[in-house]
Structure 1
Amino acid sequence: MITLVENELPDIQRHGDYAIVAITKHGVELARKLHGSFGHSDLYYMSKFRRGDESERRIQLFEGSVRLLFPALFPAYKGLIIIISLGAVIRMIAPLLQDKKKDPGIVVIDDKGEHVISVLSGHLGGANELTREVAAALGAKPVITTASDVQGTIAVDLFGRRFGWEWESDEKLTPVSASVVNEERVAVVQEAGEPGWWLYDTPLPPNIQAYESVAEALEAKPQAALVVTPRMLTPDEEAILANGVLYRPKVIALGIGCNRGTTAEEIEAVIRETLGELGLSIRSVQAICTIDLKKDEEGLLAVVAKHGWEFAIYTPEQLNRAEIEAPSDTVYKFTGAYGVSEPAAKLYADVDKLALTKKKSGNVTISVGVKRQGWRADSERKA
């Protein structure tokens, strides 16, 4: 049991991604029901409502003011589901708020389980999605007040998030979001990445127009823009970002071969230098690809871990199935494959032509592929 004491951080046991908190008789009934059907959740309620099965169900009981529980829950969970009055919740969590990129999603449920309310971090913290899921589990009404959700339009801070897209900078997220919900003219330029970013069954709102190039969008003089591309914009094109957000889709495959013991620092330096030469963003890298002989190469593993990239491994037989421009008998002698970086990049990106066939730099050989989905070559973009 957790005893809550002023100025002491309670010792909680985290098992799931979400915490459910209740302090009333009816709230506990509701919380137990939700905990039974809602996966990846931990349940906390006051010890006076003990049922005897708490240890078996890994339910954590507490004594003292529930306010003292939140400092431990806030940094530990992705989201909090709280069955307490909305006003009380706001007062208790107010001192803990930091930033919408850090705060967990907060969802409040009334004591009768009729309404599930998204309170905090609706988009980045996932509270809106959590609200819908909890409401569905309870048969309750979801209450979401975020303008983009209510209007059925683009949520700028979530645009492409389910595909792993990253924004280059969050500086313009708020003004661009304002342009979207205020129905100003908004341009969407997509040069790469998954096409299924529109989440509704209805057509795009009339104020949002898709363009095939930044130049075409600039000619239309939009009041805001969302640009999706792995490449660096030219100085002329950067004008689109005066009130725009630049998104980096995960479309780049790096084929890497290296000598045994090559350091992570050397590998990363070659990657950054090469992408810079090609005018591509490192934020759009999805994977490092190589031969299975390198699956335990410490330098490669360190770079992959640092950036959170995928690490794709191919056997010599798989690599030899890809057509390459420069097969090497020497490489075959030592690895059983006629090439490593070039075929690995081609296989992962699923393309016949690479952005960079092969470059040797020090102890590293690198090839660069850009996944074909949604990507148009320079000649096609300019046509």
Structure 2
Amino acid sequence: MSKQIAVVAITKHGVQMARKLVEILPDSDLYYMEKFATGDEENRGFYLFPGSVSKLLPDLFARYRGLVLIISLGAVVRMIAPILKDKKTDPAVVVVDDRGEHVISVLSGHLGGANELTRRVARILQARPVVTTASDVQQTIPVDLFGSQFGWEIESFAKATPVSAAVVNEERVLVIQESGETNWWTYDKPIPDHIRTVRSMEEASNHPFDATLVVTHRLLTPDEEERFLANGVLYRPKVLVLGIGCNRGTTLQEIEQVVQETLLESQLSIKSVRNIATIDLKKDEQGLLALCKKYGWHLESYTPSELNKVPLEHPSETVYKYTGAYGVSEPAALLSAGASKWILPKKKSGNVTISIAMVPHQEVQR
């Protein structure tokens, strides 16, 4: 199984609908009862099952990211109840009625993507999508998906439920955004008055609030955590670029240690690292490639002539002698981030040189 979505039908009409649906729904597999076989299932890659669908669901639940079930809602609720685990890992579950009139988001609406899957299936079937999550209905911030379109990572999830309640109940919500993409409000209406956006912890201190959404690349101080995360969720935007130069053959362990120590010294979160940048001579450096693979970062490389276009306060003749560039980590970090200054210009540690720059994001006028 390499596809992401399983479509399941148990009635004659449901099977007819499902066969048409999987032709249009990308990345989907089809399962239906053997008694509705037409003879072309093997050629078309459809799966047949005997007996009760309840015996099939636990396996599908574990193997697919989304389930589209053309089965009554009540039956689905009873069948999935014993196999539910956690909202962060359960697959999206969508129910379609036997006439294809309604498509209902049942489980994992936000994190699992059921709401979006519901809308996709409804468009294909020309049906009515039924989404009941409050943030979607009210067109406000979905706390568990905030910034997900940009790759933001939630670091503190414990308060997601009470913070979501504060958002939909129109309590005072403070969005403290120190970095990251600012065009996260996508609705065709102004941000509600109960949601206020500020650009720093200092500014946040001037406003009363009941809940917070904190977006930052920084490691918070104990005082900041106590004040702003008591009823808050912390997000890590991907805004840090690490410019790295190293001697040939430098190990993953040495590079990783320098990265971790440098970020901690600079009070920066490793979860906000977007990518590594270096000179093209190092684009096949095994230690760098292994580091990127371990953390899911991509590696960007630049030619010496590209790097030399960046003015450096202390250009190195030694580096130029061996690479043709007057610097590696500093110019690579700025070029990749599209920044004009460094958070950390340059640090040399053993076989590794590291610089840090931050991707700038222009503030959106709301």
Q: If the length of structure 1 is used for normalisation, what is the TM-score?
A: 0.91
Shift of 1:205: 1.4
**1:193 and 2:193 matched:** no
Shift of 1:277: 1.7
For 2:261 and 2:284, locate their aligned partners in 1 and report how far apart those are by CA, in whole Å: 24
The equivalent residue for 1:95 is 82
For 1:246 and 1:255, locate their aligned partners in 2 and report how far apart those are by CA, in whole Å: 26
Aligned length, in residue pairs = 362
SS in 1 for 2:56: helix
The equivalent residue for 2:290 is 302
Shift of 1:324: 2.4
The equivalent residue for 2:50 is 63
Write out aligned runs for 1:129-278 (5 A).
129-238=116-225, 239-278=227-266
Alignment identity in percent?
Answer: 64
Equivalent AA in structure 2 for residue 325 of structure 1? E
Shift of 1:297: 1.9
SS in 2 for 1:219: coil
The equivalent residue for 2:331 is 343
For 2:192 and 2:256, locate their aligned partners in 1 and report how far apart those are by CA, in whole Å: 42
176-185 vs 87-96, which moves further: 87-96
The equivalent residue for 1:74 is 61
Equivalent AA in structure 1 for residue 70 of structure 2? I
The equivalent residue for 1:373 is 361
Shift of 1:323: 2.4
8 Å CA contact 1:15, 1:41 repeated in 2: no
8 Å CA contact 1:17, 1:78 repeated in 2: yes
Equivalent AA in structure 2 for residue 135 of structure 1? A
Shift of 1:374: 4.3
RMSD over equivalenced CA pairs, Å: 1.4
**1:109 and 2:93 matched:** no
SS in 1 for 2:156: coil
For 1:232 and 1:33, locate their aligned partners in 2 and report how far apart those are by CA, in whole Å: 51
The equivalent residue for 1:119 is 106
For 2:178 and 2:239, locate their aligned partners in 1 and report how far apart those are by CA, in whole Å: 11
8 Å CA contact 1:253, 1:371 repeated in 2: yes
Deviations, residues 21-63 of structure 1 (Å, cap 9, x unaligned): 1111100111011101111111111122222332232111222
Shift of 1:279: 1.6
For 1:294 and 1:60, locate their aligned partners in 2 and report how far apart those are by CA, in whole Å: 48
The equivalent residue for 1:328 is 316
The equivalent residue for 1:378 is none
For 1:64 and 1:323, locate their aligned partners in 2 and report how far apart those are by CA, in whole Å: 72
For 2:319 and 2:62, locate their aligned partners in 1 and report how far apart those are by CA, in whole Å: 50
Q: If the length of structure 2 is used for normalisation, what is the TM-score?
A: 0.95
SS in 1 for 2:44: coil
Deviations, residues 290-333 of structure 1 (Å, cap 9, x unaligned): 12222222221221111111211222232223222332222222
Structure 2 unmatched runs, 5+: none
SS in 2 for 1:220: coil
